Amino acid sequence: MKIGFYPGCSMKGGAREYQESVSALARVFDIELVEIPDWNCCGATAAHNLNKELSLSLPARIMALAEREGLTDIVVPCAACYNRLSLVQHELGADATLKSKVCSIIDLKYEGTTQILNIIQFIDKYITDKLEEKVVKPFNYNAACYYGCLLVRPHAILNFDRVEDPQSMDVLVTKAGGNAIDWAFKTECCGAGMSVSRTDTVARLSGEIMKDANDRKADFIIVACPMCHSNLDMRRPEINKYLGENITMPVLYISQVLGLAVGLDAKTLGLNRHMTEVIFPEKPVKAAADIPQKVVTTQKMEA
């Protein structure tokens, strides 16, 4: 099975372990990820604030290249890239004039037919059904699933799960044998790109997220976005300084969690690349009385 793969800049840099774990997981399930040849930057947070045409053209080119390769699905693990590609697909789909203009800019044929999948949709579509039979080492920990903003918003276009209380990552963690805890900061802002310019803001915002997960006895925070990961993981010293605590809770990608559950080793999944050392609690506590339990549902909220 061939599926298009758009890594974006982070997979090649700061979030190499994300790509490593996604690729490793795909291999386990016999999925061939085809990196889109000659891919370019998605424009990310900068382009759409500066130049409308540029912000449309960059993702359009990526999708046009994928179409040229005959790829029907593209998995975009980075939440920011996913957000940009999806929004551009939506916008060009609604405006034929704009679409033809963008086509002439990128000098490629763009139809908008490819399906853009974020990591969770990708897993849902290709892996979930076979996941439970492949689980050899249940991820027997308390996990706080953190969705952030780019996966879920704007709801009207992305239509992801329940916008204010998403569930789909919780379902995956549960299927991997984990205990997805109920907590309050699933979609709160981590500080995002302020990481460099206003580290203090990131320390505060990510700190609140960290603290709530820690207070509710999570062993891990699970993310699906390299930006969230870097803020929660790399900015840990600043966070701890802000909180006046020493929180050592590791931050894992959902692909790493599933990888661990299906028996992949730490090295393959790039666990060694995290800033906050990944230490597994000695005796995983499952379903302790003081941990809020909840029924995880897959029911999606009606738009």
301 binds other proteins (CB under 8 A): yes
Q: Which is nearer to other proteins, 131 or 209 (CB)?
A: 209
Q: CA 235, CA 216: separation in Å to the nearest integer?
A: 21
Give the number of residues written for the chain.
303
215 binds other proteins (CB under 8 A): yes
204 binds other proteins (CB under 8 A): no
Q: Which is nearer to other proteins, 84 or 186 (CB)?
A: 186
Identify the residue among 155, 217, 273, 286 touching other proteins (CB under 8 A): 155
245 binds other proteins (CB under 8 A): no
Q: CA 262, CA 24: separation in Å to the nearest integer?
A: 10
Q: Which is nearer to other proteins, 156 or 289 (CB)?
A: 156
Q: Where are the alpha helices (DSSP H) in the chain?
A: 8-12, 16-28, 44-50, 52-68, 79-93, 96-106, 119-126, 128-134, 155-158, 168-175, 194-197, 199-215, 226-229, 236-243, 254-261
Local structure of residue 302 (DSSP, 8 states): P
124 binds other proteins (CB under 8 A): no
243 binds other proteins (CB under 8 A): no
Q: CA 239, CA 74: separation in Å to the nearest integer?
A: 35
Identify the residue among 128, 157, 188, 193 touching other proteins (CB under 8 A): 188
Is residue 35 within a helix (H) or strand (E), and if so which, with residue range? strand 32-35
Identify the residue among 35, 69, 124, 212 touching other proteins (CB under 8 A): 212
Q: CA 138, CA 252: separation in Å to the nearest integer?
A: 15
The tokens for 13 are: 């840099």
Identify the residue among 34, 184, 247, 291 touching other proteins (CB under 8 A): 184
Task: Pick the stretch among 72-80, 83-91, 182-190, 223-231 that binds other proteins (CB under 8 A).
Answer: 182-190
- DSSP lists the bridge partners of residue 104 as none
Q: Which is nearer to other proteins, 17 or 161 (CB)?
A: 161
Identify the residue among 96, 156, 287, 289 touching other proteins (CB under 8 A): 156
- Please give the residue ranges that form the binding site for other proteins (CB under 8 A): 155-156, 162-165, 182-185, 188, 212, 215, 294, 301
